[in-house]
Structure formats: structure tokens, C-alpha cells
Amino acid sequence: FGGTMLDPLYVAWVRDVLGSGPEIYALLLTAHSVAGIAGSLALGNWGARFAPRVLVGWTSFVAGAALIVKFDVPRLELAFALSLLGGATSVVSSVAIETLVQRTVREDFRGRVFAALGASGALFSLSGAVIGGAAAGVVGVTAMLNVAAGLVMVAGVVVLRALRSGEDAIDGRFATAGSD
């Protein structure tokens, strides 16, 4: 929800706050994408050292904090640097979520869980984009970007607190939740 609030507002932030045009917007997205590729390579090499919930929680928290700095300190150099960080954290978090589901949900429920995650994710994405865009007209683009970034941080904290231990998930406590 918070992550997709960023999407429609990012263009306005680049234009209105950074005072830049489509070329800078494209370069920022390219930096984000290149860092995402690098993040996936790093995750392939070192990801197994960390529990998926740790990767999801901390990368979400770090991404949200970086976004707040990025939007509140509108300097082009900083925006590029934090776009690199954001690209890496978004890939690591996405892959870790998939890994968490694969490790914690019983095989006979996995398809349904992935379908529910996909459907609810699409609904929250659409809602976040619509609400974020509408609210930015009232409170301003930077304020809504801060709300979105804050929601990303909160999501990270929730994952870290709610899924206290990767071992809990692996030994089956989460795998059988809701199947009784």
C-alpha cells in the first residue's frame, strides 16, 4: 500500500521539488533498476546467511528511512545515491517475501496463499496509488511521500516483530496456522 503510493507521486516530486524533467526521472529509475539487479546478485551470494523475515523487515525499514531522507533533502546527488539503495532493498525484500512463503506454508496450501497474496497485493497497490494521489492534492506531494515511506518502515517493523523467529516458521508453527 505504502510502496505504491510512491509511484504516481514520484514524477511530481522530480518535477516540482527537484525541479527536473523526464530525463532525470528516467535516470533515477534506471539507477533504481541497475541496483535491483546488483541486489539480486548479492542476495544470491549472501542471502542464505539471513532469515527471510530479517531480510524483509530490515530492508523495508531501511528503504523507508532512505525514502524519507530522499524526499526531505531534495538534492539530485542524494536522490541518485538513495535510488541505488532503494533498488537493492526492494529486490531483496521481494525475494525474501517469496522465500518466506515457500518456507512457511505447507505445500498443499502454497498455491492458495500465493494467489491470495497476489490478489490482495494488487488491491492494495491500486488503493495506495489512488489514495496517495488524491491525498497529495490536499497535503502536498512531499508530505504524502513521507507517509508512504513511513508505511514502508512500519511494514518492516511489523514483519520483524510479528515473525519473531525464522526457526518458528521452519518448524511448522506458521505452516499449519489456519489449517486446523
DSSP 8-state secondary structure symbol assigned to residue 48: G
For residues 130 and 167, which has the higher predicted lDDT (pLDDT)? 130
Q: Among 61, 53, 63, which Cα is nearest to 98's?
A: 53
* Residue 33 pLDDT exceeds 70: yes
Question: Lowest mean pLDDT: which of 92-96, 108-112, 169-173?
Answer: 169-173
Q: How far apart are CA 122 and CA 4, in angstroms?
A: 10
d(CA 37, CA 16): 29
The better pLDDT of the pair 8, 26 is held by 26
Residue 144 CA to residue 11 CA, distance in Å, equals 13
Residue 48, pLDDT score: 86
pLDDT band at residue 165 using 50, 70 and 90 as cut-offs: low
- How far from 11 is each of 29, 90, 129, CA to CA, in Å? 10, 19, 13
Supply the mean pLDDT for the chain. 88
pLDDT digits (tens, 9 = 90+) for 42-76: 998 888 899 999 999 999 999 999 999 999 999 99
pTM: 0.84
Residues 85-102, mean pLDDT to the nearest whole number: 92
Residue 155: how many CB atoms within 10 A of its CB?
A: 20
Place of cell 538513495: 82
Q: Is residue 139 exposed (0-12), middle (13-18) or buried (19+ Cβ within 10 Å)?
A: exposed
Q: Are 28 and 114 in contact (CB under 8 A)?
A: no
**Among residues of the chain, what percentage have pLDDT more than 90?**
72
**Cα–Cα distance, 135 to 12 (Å, whole number):** 13
Report, as an integer, the average pLDDT of 101-115.
92
- The pLDDT tens digits of the residues spanning 19-32 come to 999 999 999 999 99
What is the pLDDT at residue 86?
94
How far out from the chain centre does Cα 167 lie?
Answer: 24
Among 47, 173, 61, which residue's Cα sits nearest to residue 98?
Answer: 47
CB within 8 Å of 171: residues ≥ 6 apart: none
Look at residue 1 in the predicted model and tell me its pLDDT: 82
